[in-house]
Structure 1
Amino acid sequence: MAKSLVTGGAGFIGAHVVDSLLQLGHEVVVLDDLSGGFIENVNKKALFIEGSICDDNLINDLFEKHNFDYVYHLAAYAAEGLSHFIRKFNYNNNLMGSINLINASVKHKIKCFVFTSSIAVYGTQVVPMIETATPMPEDPYGVAKYAIELDLKSAHEMFGLDYIVFRPHNVYGSLQNIGDRYRNVIGIFMNQLMKGNPLTVFGDGSQTRAFSYIDDVAPYIAKSVNIPEAYNEVFNIGGDTDYSVKELAETVMKVMGIEGEVRNLEARNEVIHAYADHSKARKVFGITPDTITDLETGLTNMAEWVKMNGVRKTPKFENIEILENLPKVWLED
């Protein structure tokens, strides 16, 4: 039986990857510090350990104690927009914590290191973004993700550590933390509607994204280690059809059955159009257009889960390092 470590396994995507791995017959150990995830997300069949990837002593002890075959690294503080204002935290948590895992994986001869990067590595590119494009990240979150991709490539060339990199984008679905005020626009919208608050949209809502339902992402990440053609490759993965944020707001109101209003905020510094080409993933993983969940269906599924679980509080991030140019809405109670 394969034994896998999943970091961030109490988080949204991580918890779904854990479920998929268990279905595939893996023995799973979850490491999560619960800073963004929830213990109730963790499948009871997995062994849960509360702790941080930044704790290199804990990481070394884990690898000594458990004879891991695979590492699935999903732990990250993934608030891309906020990363400009928490630069030190971003690099310590997202980059240096990842290096602890890579070092341990090299020392313990891990068979494959699966890493969830992000479409954020591309920055502003011709859309749809394709893996052969040279990444040009525009925020510290994307910079950290791309640095890890480069380090994995270096570790493979120097030490033979096999890896697989996924660049998912705008993933949504059940188990998502809808109480995070800095990320996950769909969860933010649904939470705002249930509170009776306006939907907050930066700028005029013309920004475009291809929103990705969790079932079109997590199972492929989980089974990737069983596909030799995936090794030492990078894959975009997620939804194909792009929508404006304005269109998204209208569809979220429709599936929630709540006619809210939109509050347009001052535009922030962000990539305006970001969606990806998935030809490579289709070829390697056998994904077809018929298997991709359409936006309204995916949102309807998520809305059912959200209504069942109710409103979440939206706590502020402690210790923001730079306040200059911070969107005012992030400071509101």
Structure 2
Amino acid sequence: MKQMKSLITGGAGFIGSHVARHCLEAGHEVLVLDDLSGGFEDHIPEGATFIKGSITDHKLLADLFNQYKFDYVYHLAAYAAEGLSHFIRRFNYTNNLIGSVNLINEAVKHKVKCFAFTSSIAVYGPGQVPMREDMTPLPEDPYGVAKYAVELDLKAAHEMFGLNYVVFRPHNVYGENQNIGDKYRNVIGIFMNQIMQDKPLTIFGDGTQTRAFSYIDDVAIPIARSVSMPEAYNQVFNIGADTPYTVKELAEVVGKHFGASPKINYLAARKEVQHAYSDHSKAHEVFGTEDSVSLDAGIQKMASWAEKVGARKSQEFEQVEVRENMPEGW
């Protein structure tokens, strides 16, 4: 039986490294492409081939597709700072849209069997809860706009060229290998990094905004499996946890697993969706209804990992294009 060859972009990052591990366990030959702007080489699972490079380098992509003849593409590379995307529009569209189009071009030309893409619930915009795949997307930030544009481009590529795809819209994913040193995204990682440095936890607004926080295995496993499931082809799926929590409740759970009662530093509210959680009935129908990891159990797993790797210094994003109206603390 021929071994399937899979390209995983962003495979040194958070979700990508877990997808790479599950693909290897399923018997795939895996090549990871990552520019290490948000990932770490030691996150890449043993057995994967690593190429340092960017999806914005279309010549590199052409060379890789010519050399490796990929059967599947898992596209997870992105700069996923949704709130920051207002202030880095050119960077956002170059990396999250144009880079994706470069990949789609090569996938079409090389007859890739299936293209799995991680989009985001950011495509839905405000006021649509629970978010369902049959709703009309109304993204309100450049990150969501870019993700939805890629979804539309994949649909067009399928209709024109027959490229099969699976789109996933995960949300608020956390777990081992997350970049806890990024102050612009991933609230659980931010909280853990702050608490390990004896700093107050920063909350924008009053903390009553709600999110359904998704442990990594609830997301990475369906993504890895999807390319071998023709019944999932050319569809869009919400994936992640079902139960929403307030950000204040989240802070309490994080504090519990670090044995602390954290102090909260409330900052001015920023422009963001107040409530965001999805309906996952479509994904359950196709991928199964395995019990998801509870917030308490998932935070415990991630906290144990975070204490081993230690706190990380938050990095400033050096390519901000517009500074007007940036949130306090950024």
Normalization by structure 1: what TM-score?
Answer: 0.98
Q: Give the secondary structure class of the aligned counterpart of 1:79.
A: coil
* 1:318 maps onto 2:318 in alignment: yes
Structure 2 gaps of 5+ residues are none
* 1:28 maps onto 2:30 in alignment: yes
2-structure distance, mates of 1:177, 1:257: 22
Q: Deviations over 1:152-184 (max 9, x none)?
A: 000000000000000000000000000000000
Query: Does the aligned pair in 1 maintain the 2:267–2:328 contact within 8 Å?
Result: no
User: Which residue pairs with 2:92 in the alignment?
Assistant: 90
2-structure distance, mates of 1:27, 1:221: 16
Within 5 A, what are the aligned runs for 1:243-322?
A: 243-288=245-290, 291-322=291-322
1-structure distance, mates of 2:91, 2:228: 34
Q: Deviations over 1:193-234 (max 9, x none)?
A: 000100000000011000000011101100111111100000
Q: Give the secondary structure class of the aligned counterpart of 1:21.
A: helix
Q: CA deviation at 1:126?
A: 2.8
Instruction: Find 1:222's aligned residue among 221, 224, 227.
Output: 224
Within 5 A, what are the aligned runs for 1:137-148?
A: 137-148=139-150
Q: CA deviation at 1:131?
A: 0.3
Q: Give the secondary structure class of the aligned counterpart of 1:6.
A: strand
Within 5 A, what are the aligned runs for 1:225-244?
A: 225-244=227-246
1-structure distance, mates of 2:53, 2:318: 19
Q: CA deviation at 1:303?
A: 0.2
* 1:162 maps onto 2:164 in alignment: yes
* 1:192 maps onto 2:194 in alignment: yes
More moved, 224-233 vs 143-152: 224-233
1-structure distance, mates of 2:324, 2:298: 37
User: Which residue pairs with 2:211 in the alignment?
Assistant: 209
Q: What value does the CA root-mean-square deviation take over the aligned residues? A: 0.6
Q: CA deviation at 1:287?
A: 2.0
Q: Give the secondary structure class of the aligned counterpart of 2:273.
A: coil
* 1:64 maps onto 2:66 in alignment: yes
2-structure distance, mates of 1:261, 1:195: 12
Q: CA deviation at 1:32?
A: 0.1
2-structure distance, mates of 1:44, 1:321: 38
2-structure distance, mates of 1:184, 1:300: 16
Q: Give the secondary structure class of the aligned counterpart of 2:202.
A: strand
Q: CA deviation at 1:120?
A: 0.4
Query: Does the aligned pair in 1 maintain the 2:270–2:327 contact within 8 Å?
Result: yes
2-structure distance, mates of 1:97, 1:54: 4
Q: CA deviation at 1:328?
A: 2.4
Q: Give the secondary structure class of the aligned counterpart of 1:29.
A: strand
Q: CA deviation at 1:256?
A: 1.5
2-structure distance, mates of 1:232, 1:125: 26
2-structure distance, mates of 1:99, 1:216: 27
Q: CA deviation at 1:125?
A: 3.1
2-structure distance, mates of 1:48, 1:37: 12
2-structure distance, mates of 1:310, 1:57: 38
User: Which residue pairs with 1:19 in the alignment?
Assistant: 21
1-structure distance, mates of 2:128, 2:91: 30
Q: CA deviation at 1:132?
A: 0.3
User: Which residue pairs with 1:177 in the alignment?
Assistant: 179
1-structure distance, mates of 2:129, 2:107: 35
Aligned residues: 328
Q: Give the secondary structure class of the aligned counterpart of 1:48.
A: strand
Within 5 A, what are the aligned runs for 1:96-111?
A: 96-111=98-113
User: Which residue pairs with 1:40 in the alignment?
Assistant: 42
More moved, 94-103 vs 117-126: 117-126
Q: Give the secondary structure class of the aligned counterpart of 1:217.
A: helix
The one-letter code of the counterpart of 2:299 is L
List structure 1 segments (4+ residues) > 6 angstroms apart after TM superposition.
none
The one-letter code of the counterpart of 1:313 is K
Q: Deviations over 1:61-118 (max 9, x none)?
A: 0000001000000000000000000000000011000000000000000000000000
Q: Deviations over 1:227-253 (max 9, x none)?
A: 111000000000000000011011110
Q: Deviations over 1:286-317 (max 9, x none)?
A: 124xx201100000000000001101010100
Normalization by structure 2: what TM-score?
Answer: 0.99
